[in-house]
A and B are shown apart, each in its own frame.
Chain A
């Protein structure tokens, strides 16, 4: 079956530090990959996505590249801000699974200190 593994948190960084949150996946088909962000007290929001190998998703300074050879989709940001403090979820959607249901990783809490 499908699964997503991401690094455990919390990740604590100082403002303007470089961020990497690792994510690897296992899928039977050709999945689309996503990063969602959950700010305190809010629902999940789509941060970025990539639908095929070598695609790079980007949004709000965050980037992730779909690496089929390493089955990875690591999230990166060059300079984090306090406002980036949130929980980040890596997820996949297997196109072979009708309905595009999502499989989530365990989530990684990011805390950015001023």
Chain B
């Protein structure tokens, strides 16, 4: 149990376009999900906390107008990278608190490459 999926697993897009990444909790409901960014050979940096039915809470330095987060249901959160640029290329990972609420379960990640 407590499986988190992401779609797509990788995406290549042109500079200036927008890309949507989906994060789903497959067998449980998740009122809170997290979005992380991971640069090559570096650690995960928390971007924002996504709360079902309310606005996301962004970490300092993360542009909320560039990284739009929508948590419209208890099993789905989406991250949209708007007007993507090459510096947005990264590995984006989501996570969700499991059914007991005391452990985060991570998705497999989405690799974004902006040309």
Contact = CB atoms under 8 A, between A and B. Distances in A.
Asked whether A and B interact, the reply is yes
Given A101-B49, A102-B104, A43 B93 contact: yes
Given A46-B104, A101-B34, 9 more contacts: A36-B106, A41-B108, A43-B106, A43-B109, A44-B44, A44-B93, A99-B32, A106-B42, A109-B41
B23 to A, nearest CB: 11
A45 interface: yes
A43 B42 contact: no
A89 interface: yes
A42 B46 contact: no
A29 B70 CA distance: 31
Given A43-B4, A43-B93, A101 B106 contact: no
Contacts of A101: 34, 46, 49
B7 to A, nearest CB: 13
A36 B32 CA distance: 20
Interface of A: 36, 41-46, 89, 99-102, 104-107, 109
Contacts of B42: 106-107
Contact of B107 (A43, A105, A109): A43
Interface in B90-115: 93, 95, 97, 102-104, 106-109
Chain B CB count within 10 A is highest, among A41, A44, A45, A106, for A44
Given A41-B108, A105-B43, A46 B49 contact: no
A43 B103 CA distance: 14
Chain B CB count within 10 A is highest, among A41, A43, A99, A102, for A43
A89 B106 CA distance: 13
A99 B4 CA distance: 18
Contacts of B106: 36, 43-45
Contacts of B104: 46, 100, 102
A112 to B, nearest CB: 19
Interface string B26-53: 0000001010000001111010010000
B44 A104 contact: yes
A107 B34 contact: no
B108 A99 contact: no
